[in-house]
Amino acid sequence: MQKPKHPWFRRRGYPHFDHPISFREAKRIVKNPLQVAQHSFYPFVEFTINTFKVKRNKITDKVERVEKIRPIAYASHVDCHIYSYYSFILSKIYESWIRSSGLNECILAFRSKGKSNVEFAKDAFDAIKKMGNCHVVALDITGFFDNLDHKILKLEWANLIDERNLPADHYAVFKSLTKFATVNQIKLYESLGISSNNKKSNPKRLCTPLEFRTVIRSKEKIVKNNKGSKKGIPQGSPISALLSNIYMRQFDKVLYSFANSCAGHYFRYCDDILLVVPTEKSSYVETLAINEISKLNLVINPTKTDRVGFQINSTGELCSTKPLQYLGFLFDGEKIILRSASLARYSEKMKKGIKIAKATMLKRNLARIARGEDEKPLFRHKINKRYSHFGRRNFISYGYSAARKMDSNAIRKQLRRLTKRMINEIDRKK
């Protein structure tokens, strides 16, 4: 795939407080440190997505449906170009530091490594197989982006670019992300008399600077970062992901150094930490991780901590005390499978989709009968595209791709059962 000529520049079609600008205009702004230092950043426009995660209750061992509310925030057009450009220049410095520190294979998320979570999971499972007798600790950081300490972030940012203090332009970008503000999309559209349903009627620019000052700012529709000036950055900016990696530099160095010293392995995918160490180091490595993360004013979520022992048995096979869960897969030393919660989530979406398709078919057939026309069968093309291996980008096609890359017959068996379930749901009369 050919790399873009200007990696930091991307056109965004959504409406915001400013209008889209050309590459030439964006270049003129982002490459002028004085202009960036004096730039007035607009608030992020925020909306929420209600998703449902399917989880297995550890007490009842039943699969439960849990609602999760995800806030999505997106920056204005000029602000995005500034964030993208500074992410681009910081990323080059960070990648150089990663390679010199020996961390290239440890830090997985938000980097251009040409791999997906399937390959990352396989690498971790292969490392466990190679070690044989070992102990694995999987840790999760509580509220990662929401709890990044601003002082630590500022210090790590300055250290990365080898400066005692952030230059004025870098500081302006830093300040816009730590003292960020948001405007609720629904309330914003209502205030401006814009339809949130008819996307075609939306203007390229939501309002003029005067309307922003008089309608939005003066009526207190802007909400500032609820943790004040001490913690948290928005997840919606093009630079936030990179900054989260920069924030974790010292932690990554210490954990990698320890794992390397005992012939172990360290992997971090955003806020998911995986440590593979000799069995006798099991208790120490977890204590080390908790102590080091506390230095960053972050906390490990104890309810998501997973501890798994692996051992080669008398027949020479690798077995585990329980399956290890990592990046959507389960590994027991012998086989790799997809998480049951992922299968349940697919089944729920599939059943709902087929139910809607059948209701649509019934409605249209009633209209055909009223016109004296013949009924038509269920239109299966879209169903197959969304819920079977005939589709290019769905859960089933992803699963078969993972099975191929991991050489897992166990995953293929899981997927065949799902396909049968889909056919049964289509054939079901009620």
* Residue-wise burial string across 18-44, b where 16 or more C-beta atoms lie within 10 A, e elsewhere: bebbeeeebbeebeeeeebeebebbbb
Torsion of CA 399, 403, 408, 409, to 10 degrees: 70
Per-residue pLDDT of the chain (430 residues; tens, 9 = 90+): 445 668 999 998 899 999 999 999 999 999 999 999 999 999 999 988 776 666 666 667 666 667 777 788 899 999 999 999 999 999 999 999 999 999 999 999 999 888 999 999 999 999 999 999 999 999 999 999 999 999 999 999 999 999 999 999 999 999 999 999 999 999 899 888 888 776 666 678 999 999 898 888 876 788 888 655 689 999 889 999 999 999 999 999 999 999 999 999 999 999 999 999 999 998 899 999 999 999 999 999 999 999 999 999 999 999 999 999 999 999 999 999 999 889 988 998 999 999 999 999 999 999 999 998 888 888 888 899 999 989 888 999 999 999 999 999 999 999 999 999 999 999 887 6
Going by C-alpha positions, the residue among 397, 306, 271, 382 that lies closest to residue 346 is 397
DSSP 336-370: EEE-HHHHHHHHHHHHHHHHHHHHHHHHHHHHHHH
In sequence order, which residues have a C-beta less than 8 Å from that of residue 165 and are 6 or more positions away?
158, 171
- Cβ–Cβ < 8 Å for 400, 389: yes
The pLDDT score that the predictor gives to residue 1 is 45
Q: Which H or E element spans position 100? A: helix 77-100
- Cβ–Cβ < 8 Å for 212, 222: no
Secondary structure letter of residue 296 according to DSSP: T
Instruction: Enter the pTM of the model.
Output: 0.89
Q: Phi and psi (nearest 5°) for 125? A: -65, -35
The pLDDT score that the predictor gives to residue 156 is 98
Q: Which residues pair with 429 in a beta bridge?
A: none
- Cβ–Cβ < 8 Å for 340, 418: no
Q: Show the beta-strand stretches assigned E in 126-180.
A: 134-140
